[in-house]
Each structure stands twice: as structure tokens, then as C-alpha cells.
Structure 1
Amino acid sequence: MFKSSKIKSLFLAVFVCGSMSLMAQEQDISDKELGQFADAYTEVQVQNQKSQEKMIAIIKDEGLEVERFNEIQQAEMDPNQESDATEAEKEKHENVIVKFEELQPEIEKKAIASIESAGITLQDYEKIGAKIQADQSLQQRLQAIIVKRQSDKS
């Protein structure tokens, strides 16, 4: 009997401590911080969409279709895959890659500006993002904030 109640107490203590640490972890990010993250995340998504449109335009301006560019890129990245690209396609692909690399600093600068305009640093954005990725309740809180803000705009 003594052993049983000791085990029950231990189990209860572990359960309570575990619950408290989960609650503390979730509360580690305030609603204000999560709201700032939501604003930054939404703006970064808009910037990503614009960047993708620019990248698609670059691919097409070089005379490649996006699907074909992706096929060539995949073959380039996989040493076990042989590319069936013609020399002309390889040259176009290389031109696209060079233009992407030239575009990269502008994309990064705009993303950082979007994050900072929401009142959060890049480091805090990354930390909060990592916590959100690991915590489903934070994901739900973030989703609720984003949905609410989108419905407020409508």
C-alpha cells in the first residue's frame, strides 16, 4: 500500500510539473509578440509571392518554361541523375541562376524590412518561428490571430 501511494504521488508530481512546464513554454510568447510575428509572417508571405513572380518572369525571359527549369535544376542538384538538357537549355538555366543570385540580396532586404516593420527583430522572428514549429498550441494561437486580422481587413 505504501509503495502504491508513493508511486501515485510521484506520478502526480511528474504530471503536474510536466503540465506546468508546457504551460510556461506556451506562455513564453506573449499575445503581443505573437501578434507581431503574425504581422511579420503575413508580410513576408506577400514578399515571397512577389519574389516568386519575379523569378518566374526571369525564367520565362530567358526562354524556359518553369517546369523545364525545375527539371534541369533537379538534375543539376542530384549527382545520380543525368540531365537531358540541351546546351542551349543549360546556358539559359545558368543565366537564370545568375539572375536569381543577383536578386537574392534584394529579396532578403525586403523580408528583413517586413519583419522589422512589424516591430520585431529578425532574431526574435526566427526564435518565435522555431517555437511555433515545435508547439501545436502556438500554431493554433498564431492561426487564430492571422484569421482574425484577415477578417478585420474585410
Structure 2
Amino acid sequence: MKKFFSSLLFVVAVGTASVTAQSTTIPQQQESIEVSDAELTQFAEVFQKMRMMNQEAQKEMMATVQNEDFELERFNEIHQAEMDPNKEVETSAEEDKKYKAVVSELEKMQPEFQKKMQAVITESDLSMERYQQLAMALRSDAELQQRLQEIMKS
């Protein structure tokens, strides 16, 4: 369940530009970008704030699932089957109804989460575009990942 919510929130956090880039073919050797320590520190601060917001959002989302008297594991199982055409799961009419109600509520919550996350980026010295560039670069640049880890340790 956490993985589902984390991926949902990560998509919200990084925005649609990175999702679009992710769904296209990206060469394995991406051109590395120049990132100053100050800029990486700013990214780390934003990232930490987003992680805290992510945890709060997960709690809200899990409460939404539980408010429909849905077990988190069962909801996740059904959701994974909905997202993966190769996966099937037997559901009752009641489960289908609960699932649709939960997804509808989660979709209503998403714009607010996205708005909060964009505000965190806007309040920093990073632009949304630059934050997305850094997030994409961190996916494939081991040295940049190491630098970020060092900054986050201090």
C-alpha cells in the first residue's frame, strides 16, 4: 500500500513533465547536468519537506481507504490488478463499489497534495522546471545521488 501511495505522490511531486519523460524511451546514458552544492542543498531541503508531506498524505489516503471499510492490502491488490492488464483479481460487487468510491476520493485529494508540493518548490530558490531536472538526473546519476546522500546526512 505504501508503495502505491508513494508512487502516486512521487508522480504528484515531480509533476507531469517527468512522467511524460519517464514513459518515453530514455537513453541509458543521460547527459549529466551541472549542479552546485548550494543548489543540491536546496533540493535536499525541498525533498525533505516533501517527504514529510508525503507521510501526511499517506496517512490521509490510508484513512480514506479504511473509512470505506476496506482492508489496505485488499485495496492495493485490486488497484494493482486495475493498473496491470496482465493481472486479474476476483472482486465482489461490494468491493467494486468500495474501490470506485475510494479511487474517486483519492482523485479529489490529489490536486490539493500537488498544490502543497508545488508551493514547497515555489518557496525555495528552485524553479519547478529545475526541480524536475534535478529529480530526473538523480534517477540515473550515481555521483549526484551520492552527493545528495552526503548533504542529507549533515
TM-score (norm: length of structure 1): 0.75
Please tell me whether residue 123 in structure 1 is matched to residue 97 in structure 2.
no
What do you get for the CA RMSD once the two structures are aligned?
1.6
Match of 2:142 among 132, 136, 141: 136
Aligned residue number for residue 112 of structure 1: 118
Match of 1:92 among 77, 98, 120: 98
Give the distance between the partners of 2:33 and 2:51, measured in 1 at CA: 26
Once the two structures are overlaid, the 10-residue window that deviates more, 81-90 or 42-51, is 81-90
Q: Where does 1:59-74 land on structure 2 (aligned, <5 Å)?
A: 59-74=65-80
CA contact (8 A) 2:66 2:72 kept: yes
The one-character-per-residue Cα deviations of 1:36-79 (angstroms, maximum 9, x if unpaired) are 10011111111111111111000000110110001111222233
Please tell me whether residue 41 in structure 1 is matched to residue 42 in structure 2.
no
Residues 102, 28 of structure 1: alpha-carbon distance in 2 compared, 3 angstrom cutoff: same
Give the distance between the partners of 1:124 and 1:65, measured in 2 at CA: 39
Name structure 1 gaps, 5 residues minimum.
1-24, 149-154
Question: Secondary structure of the residue that 1:28 maps to in structure 2?
Answer: coil
Q: CA deviation at 1:35?
A: 0.8
CA contact (8 A) 2:33 2:137 kept: no
Aligned residue number for residue 50 of structure 1: 56
The one-character-per-residue Cα deviations of 1:83-104 (angstroms, maximum 9, x if unpaired) are 3111111100000000011001
Please tell me whether residue 79 in structure 1 is matched to residue 85 in structure 2.
yes
Once the two structures are overlaid, the 10-residue window that deviates more, 26-35 or 85-94, is 26-35
Give the distance between the partners of 2:40 and 2:140, measured in 1 at CA: 15
CA contact (8 A) 1:40 1:116 kept: no
Would you say how many aligned residue pairs link Structure 1 and Structure 2?
A: 124
Name structure 2 gaps, 5 residues minimum.
1-30
- Between 1 and 2, higher relative CO (CA 8 Å, sep ≥ 6) is seen in 2
- When Rg is computed on C-alpha atoms for both structures, the one with the higher figure is 1
Give the distance between the partners of 2:94 and 2:148, measured in 1 at CA: 47
Give the distance between the partners of 2:34 and 2:85, measured in 1 at CA: 44
Match of 2:107 among 101, 108, 117: 101
